Structures are given as structure tokens and as C-alpha cells.
Amino acid sequence: MGLFGPPDVSQLKSKKNVKGLIKALSYQKDWRVRELAARALGELGAVEAVDALIEKLRDYSEVVENTAADALIEIGPPAIDGLVSALADPDRREYVSHVLVDIGKESIPALGEVVEKGWFVNARKYAAWTLGKIGDPSAVSALLKGVLDEDSQVRKAAAKAMLEIGEEAIEPLNDALKNDDKKIRQAAEWALSSFND
């Protein structure tokens, strides 16, 4: 960083100075510096910048928010754990969900764990919503546990997610009818009946 001016993001990027770029991500005097830093971190695939980029999903500049989201998508699967943890943050969870959808199928195991065991109702709800938007039938077993959740918002989100997965959810639901757990069988029956409504 210059002594008196803004950080030289292109120089930091060419030197692969991830620490310097993370610091530039916090430069408050010019949103363009933050935008360029976020873009550079994504292009470098800087896993160590995931938390700092998640912080920038809430920025004064929408451009910075969008660039941080793009950078996280570019980093891809190594960003999943940090993103899933951020579902607990009410200021970021909606943006985080969209980023996880764009990362795709690799997010399913971590999201499924949140649906099943997450501490916060809204984190479980957004995890279920995200699974529905990803739209892969491998999420059905976690969503069935969401249908059994004690909270009605989570139950609704899990049910909607299965409907979003659509016809591809039917085979895993039929398999769940053979589950040893009576509650899972009942949830699967209910889900299958909702496809006929």
C-alpha cells in the first residue's frame, strides 16, 4: 500500500500478495479499490480470503457485494464451509444462499447437515431453501429430516425444496418409504402425496 494513496491492487495481485489484497478489501475511501481487491482474490482462488469476502457480502457498495459473491463462486468448494457457517448471520444469509446455489452440488452435504442439525431456525430454513434451488435429488434425505423439524418455517422450506427438485425427488422418496425410521417413512409418504396435489 502506498504511504498516502490507495492500495495498488494490480501490483498486489501480480505479486500474489493475498494479505495485502485482504487489507485492500477494507479500504473505505474508494469502493473501486474494494471491488478490484475482491475480483483479484477470486481470480487468485485465495481460500484464505473466504471470511473477508463473506464480510463484503454486506458492503456500502452493491458492486462490491456482487464482486465478492463472484469471487466466492470462483473460489468454489473451498469456500463452502465458511459460507455455510455464515447462514447463521441474518445480515448475509440470503446472499450466502445464492452463492451456494451457484457453487452447486458440492454444497449439498454441508447444507444437509445444517438442515438436520443446525442450531438456528433461520439457518436451517435457508439451508433447505438453498437445497431446493440447487435442485439435486441427493438432497432429499436431508430435506426429509427438515420436514420433521420442530419449527414450521423449516418444515415449509423443506417441503417446498422437495417440490422444487420435482420429479427427480420421487425415486429417493420411494426409497425412503423403506426406511427403518417410522417418522422418515411418514415424511416420505407426505412428500409423495404433495406431488399429487
Q: Considering the chain, what percentage of its residues have pLDDT values greater than 70?
A: 96
Task: Give the pLDDT score at 196.
Answer: 66
For residue 54, the model assigns a pLDDT of: 96
Residue 119 sits at the vertex; the CA angle it makes with 181 and 81, to the nearest 5 degrees, is 100
pTM of the model: 0.85
* CA gap 84, 65 in Å, rounded: 17
Number of H-type helices and E-type strands within the chain = 13, 0
**Least confident piece of the model among 2-6, 48-52, 104-108, 186-190:** 2-6
